[in-house]
Amino acid sequence: MVVNKKVKEDVILVTQEGLDELKQELKMIREDKRPDAVKRLQTARDMGDLSENSEYSNAKLDLEFIDERIGELESKLKKAKVVVKSTTKKTVGIGSKVLVAVAGKGITYQIVGEGEAEPKEKKVSHNSPLGEALMGSKEGDKVQVKAPAGKIEYTIKDIK
């Protein structure tokens, strides 16, 4: 007997800030980059022999890349679900800014959706090893994260 189960569509969890950034990037690409790429392709096409026209080949590849990025962004926006940080709980969730102590230093991380992670900006995905360890934790909790150099212990000092 085959059971027909409804497949739940993938959902991408994002903060409101992350959703706004995705929308802004899509708008900029549609209104600025794509029209410029189309003009560049037309100009290169007008140069003549396309078989030996490297400018035409490059412009065509650039336009394909831009169109792929538009498709990716549209797909992410369709699947995006904004996670609102609860102001009543003092537990780590998506959108939280978490001050942790590690090796005697204080570092603030922001927990974000999977498409928003920017390690250089201390934005970590909720499903990264550090994000998973921090999710649901409270002030004063200690969490351990496996790293190539061994386990690293983080103490949660503050949650905003």
- At residue 78's C-alpha, the angle toward residues 118 and 67, to 5°, is 75
Report residue 15: phi and psi, to 5°.
-85, 165
Write out pLDDT tens, residues 22-68. 999 999 999 999 999 999 999 988 887 767 778 888 999 999 999 99
Q: Which residues, at least 6 apart from 68, have a Cβ–Cβ distance to it below 8 Å? A: none
Q: Which domain holds residue 73?
A: 12-82
**Tokens, residue 109:** 């991380």
Q: Does 72 share its domain with 128?
A: no
The dihedral through the CA atoms of 69, 70, 74, 77 has a sign that is positive
Based on the structure, what is the number of domains in the chain? Answer: 2
Write out pLDDT tens, residues 103-125. 889 999 999 988 788 989 999 99
* CATH code, domain with 109: 3.10.50.30
Q: Does 102 share its domain with 50?
A: no
Q: Does 71 share its domain with 127?
A: no
Q: Does 105 share its domain with 149?
A: yes
Q: Does 60 share its domain with 103?
A: no
